[in-house]
Amino acid sequence: MEKEKILMDLEYEFICDFIKLRKEKGLTQKALAEMSGVVREKIAKIENKLNSPQLNSLIKILEPIGYTVKIMPIEKEK
Identify the domain containing residue 24 by its residue range.
Answer: 2-65
Q: What is the mean pLDDT of residues 28-41?
A: 97
Residues 6+ apart with CB under 8 A from 33: 39, 40, 42, 43
pLDDT of amino acid 78:
52
Q: Which amino acid is at 73?
A: P
Does residue 38 have a pLDDT over 90? yes
Residue 31 lies in a domain: yes
Specify if 33 maps to a domain: yes
Residues 6+ apart with CB under 8 A from 11: 49, 52
pLDDT-based confidence at 58, cuts 50/70/90? very high
Q: Indicate whether 51 pLDDT > 90.
A: no
Average pLDDT, the chain: 91
Average pLDDT over residues 13-33: 95
pLDDT at 1 over 80: no
57 in a domain, yes or no? yes
| HSE value, Cβ hemisphere, 13 Å, CA-based, for 3 | 0
CATH of the domain at 18: 1.10.260.40
